[in-house]
């Protein structure tokens, strides 16, 4: 039923700190009366809404897109479970329906499609041992490239009960389980139809909270050129670069001013709607990474800073 990720929203103590961070990360801002929307260059879709609260940073809400038929079906499932529909939380909030999931996370579902984003048409092929696909062509990109994120691909939330939360998102919203990390540590879910390996994931904690939002780059060169520029502006490295096991994507994480994270990613697994895909139970180590430039994730990588 859910067909797209529309945006997420964060309540933050300082609008300037938030917009400075995401602008340096490569996003553009749209200033509105009750929030600022951060967007990817060339994409007509909000990605992260920043709402100044004057309080510690908190995850505010997630917004997903569906069809008109899907919206009716989701509303019926919510009614069957006795989940009340809510008024929009602020004047400029999205249309559609609003409700809280079983752990109290605010969710919006609206009739909306994913907006087009910049795609690649001229990237150089990769030469491999005995398989030279790039002939008489330089593989190194131009030294003056200024790469920017193409789209927000996924986000991860902390929850108390990974099994129950992922079951709700699959049974009520129509997500599909792609993979888990063992012992209820994490669950990764994709949208209905053809989808990236995961669009939303749940990570075990003692309470709810925001872990990270992830933005797609054209390739590993774009990700690391952007990372070099981003770090030169004084922002804090968190983990990477490396290659995840779950989802297979290259990653590089950075801390925001309040110890949430933003990630550059590329080359994630993609699952067609008609493909056979059996969810796998990964160990924590293998699911997290095959390799990373700085080894295992830091001790606080899985810390929920919204709990203090």
Gyration radius from the chain CA atoms: 19
Which of 22-36, 38-52, 55-69, 124-138 is predicted least confidently? 124-138
* DSSP string covering 192-219: SSSEES-SEEEEE-SS-EEEEEEEE-SS
DSSP class of residue 84 equals: P
Q: How confident is the model at residue 52 (pLDDT cuts 50, 70, 90)?
A: very high
Q: How far apart are CA 277 and CA 275, in angstroms?
A: 6
Q: Which residue has the tokens 């109290």?
A: 104
Backbone angles phi, psi at 69, to 5 degrees: -65, -40
Q: What is the pTM of this model?
A: 0.97
What mean pLDDT value characterizes the chain? Answer: 97
Q: How far apart are CA 33 and CA 26, in angstroms?
A: 23
Q: How confident is the model at residue 121 (pLDDT cuts 50, 70, 90)?
A: low
Handedness of CA 24, 90, 6, 2 (dihedral sign): positive
3-state secondary structure of 286: helix
CB distance 68 to 139 below 8 Å? no
DSSP lists the bridge partners of residue 270 as: 196
Q: Which residue has the tokens 């994507």?
A: 249
Per the structure block, which two tokens stand in for 75?
């509303």
Handedness of CA 292, 297, 302, 304 (dihedral sign): negative
Residue 194 has pLDDT above 90, yes or no: yes
**Residue count of the chain:** 308
User: Mean of the pLDDT values across residues 36-49?
Assistant: 98
Residue 142 has pLDDT above 80, yes or no: yes
DSSP lists the bridge partners of residue 291 as: 243
Per the structure block, which two tokens stand in for 279?
């969810």
- What tens digit of pLDDT does each residue of 262-275 get? 999 999 999 999 99
Q: Which residue has the higher pLDDT, 162 or 192?
A: 162
Residue 259 has pLDDT above 70, yes or no: yes
Give the HSE-up count for residue 99: Cα atoms under 13 Å, Cβ half-sphere: 23
Residue 121 has a CB neighbour count (10 Å cut-off) of: 5
Largest CA distance in the chain: 64
Provide the pLDDT for residue 122: 67
Q: How far apart are CA 80 and CA 301, in angstroms?
A: 37
Q: How far apart are CA 164 and CA 149, in angstroms?
A: 33
Residue 13 has pLDDT above 90, yes or no: yes
Q: How far apart are CA 206 and CA 261, in angstroms?
A: 19
Provide the pLDDT for residue 124: 75
Q: How far apart are CA 244 and CA 207, in angstroms?
A: 25
User: Mean of the pLDDT values across residues 235-257?
Assistant: 98
Residue 110 has pLDDT above 70, yes or no: yes
Provide the pLDDT for residue 120: 78
Residue 302: is it exposed, middle or buried by C-beta count within 10 angstroms (0-12/13-18/19+)? middle
3-state secondary structure of 272: coil
User: Mean of the pLDDT values across residues 75-103?
Assistant: 98
User: Mean of the pLDDT values across residues 73-82?
Assistant: 98
Residue 257 has pLDDT above 90, yes or no: yes
Provide the pLDDT for residue 1: 94
Residue 236 has pLDDT above 90, yes or no: yes
């Amino acid at each position: 039923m859910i067909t797209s990720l529309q945006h997420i929203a964060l309540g933050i103590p300082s609008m300037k700190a938030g917009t400075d961070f995401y602008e340096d990360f490569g996003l553009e801002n749209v200033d509105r009366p009750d929030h600022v929307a951060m967007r990817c260059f060339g994409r007509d879709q909000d990605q992260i809404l920043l709402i100044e609260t004057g309080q510690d940073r908190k995850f505010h809400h997630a917004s997903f897109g569906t069809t008109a038929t899907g919206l009716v079906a989701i509303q019926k499932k919510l009614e069957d479970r006795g989940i009340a529909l809510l008024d929009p939380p602020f004047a400029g909030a999205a249309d559609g329906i609003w409700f809280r999931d079983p752990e109290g996370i605010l969710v919006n579902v609206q009739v909306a499609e994913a907006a087009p984003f910049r795609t690649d048409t001229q990237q150089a092929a990769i030469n491999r041992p005995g398989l030279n696909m790039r002939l008489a062509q330089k593989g190194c990109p131009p030294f003056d490239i200024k790469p920017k994120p193409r789209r927000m691909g996924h986000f991860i939330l902390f929850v108390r009960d990974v099994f129950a939360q992922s079951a709700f998102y699959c049974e009520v919203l129509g997500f599909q389980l792609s993979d888990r990390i063992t012992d209820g540590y994490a669950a990764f879910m994709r949208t209905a139809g053809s989808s990236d390996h995961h669009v939303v994931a749940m990570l075990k904690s003692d309470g709810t909270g925001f872990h990270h939002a992830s933005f797609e780059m054209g390739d590993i060169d774009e990700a690391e050129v952007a990372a070099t520029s981003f770090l030169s502006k004084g922002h804090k490295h968190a983990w990477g670069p490396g290659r995840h096991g779950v989802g297979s994507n290259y990653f590089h994480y950075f801390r925001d001013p309040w110890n949430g994270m933003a990630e550059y990613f590329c080359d994630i697994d993609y699952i067609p709607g008609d493909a056979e895909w059996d969810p796998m139970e990964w160990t924590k180590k293998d699911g997290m990474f095959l390799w990373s430039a700085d080894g295992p994730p830091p001790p606080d990588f899985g810390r929920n800073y919204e709990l203090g």
